[in-house]
Structure 1
Amino acid sequence: MKIQIAAHFNKQTKDSKKELVQFHVKGDDEKKPELNAMTRSVVVLNIEGVEQALTTEFSKSTKDAKKTVLEFIVKGDTYSEHSYEFYRKAGSDVVLEIAESQMSIEEFRGEDDEDHEERREGVRGKVNPDGTIELEDKDQLTLEDVAAAGDKGGPVIPDNDDDLPF
């Protein structure tokens, strides 16, 4: 399914994980039933006269007495220098083409999904009520082990700011 609508490229916002692009539908195009059918799916956005298209998640469509607002989420690593022409149209009236994508929401979100728990390197353990920590990995060095290594000719770790060389 593919539709063309007259819209105003209202805004573009970006944070570390995702980017949001928002359009206000103009005229009778807001009555097109295809808009509702494609909501909450992955779509390809193209602006007439711009070579670069964007693959986005059509996150929501809201309608009030004055306007219909379409919001699309672009993955944080998707935008680049080649999409510059697309974003130059922000703040202007455009002819927007919205086409269904073969990609699923899960494929689009990938590891950027907010529900996805990211595995991180670091110390694993349990914090006791007294503030001490019991490490899961018994081979993990503690600060006491490192300090003891310094006493035995290992690397010296300063115990206060006076020991720092600068």
Structure 2
Amino acid sequence: MNRAILEGMEVDAQNRPQSMQQWLELLKKPVRQVVNNSSSQSGKSGKSRQTQNNALTQISSQAQQSSKTIPWGWLTGVLLSYSVLGFLIAPSAGAGSVGLAGTGAVVGVSVLAVVLDLAGAVALSVASENLLESFSRFHTFLILAATSLFGLGLGWLSYQIFPIFK
């Protein structure tokens, strides 16, 4: 698209597309490799056009290399598992676990929390492997930490709105 815009804004009218249909065809064409054709054009405009084409070729190759793959399904799994975990541990975080110790519900909730924690760890592991293909280790850490903390906070907030354990 950049190539079509730049060719449409060419200084010399003879180097611009002569009709709207020709310009629209430029949008459909893939970026081509630059061939030295300065002999068919005037010296200065040929060199500037070749420089523009070289720059566009480099930009398109960088864009293809820098495409990032984000595992949205696994990140959603991390978010959901940590939000359920945050919902389950919210009563012990707010009231203190001493007052809740001894009830059978707490044991069941704790077991469920451990199972969800293991599921979250699996989702984190797979998501981190997929993220490392596109991001650095530091950015992967930031993405996973933010997703996990957001899930815990969302679970805690859900418990504050719907307190089912007392």
Q: Give the structure, 1 or 2, with the largest relative contact order (CA under 8 Å, sep 6 or more).
A: 2
Q: Please indicate the TM-score interval, normalised by the length of the shorter structure.
A: under 0.3
Question: So what's the TM-score if we normalise by structure 2?
Answer: 0.25
> When you count strand as a share of all residues, which structure comes out higher?
1
Between Structure 1 and Structure 2, whose CA radius of gyration is higher? 2
Which protein has the bigger helix share? 2
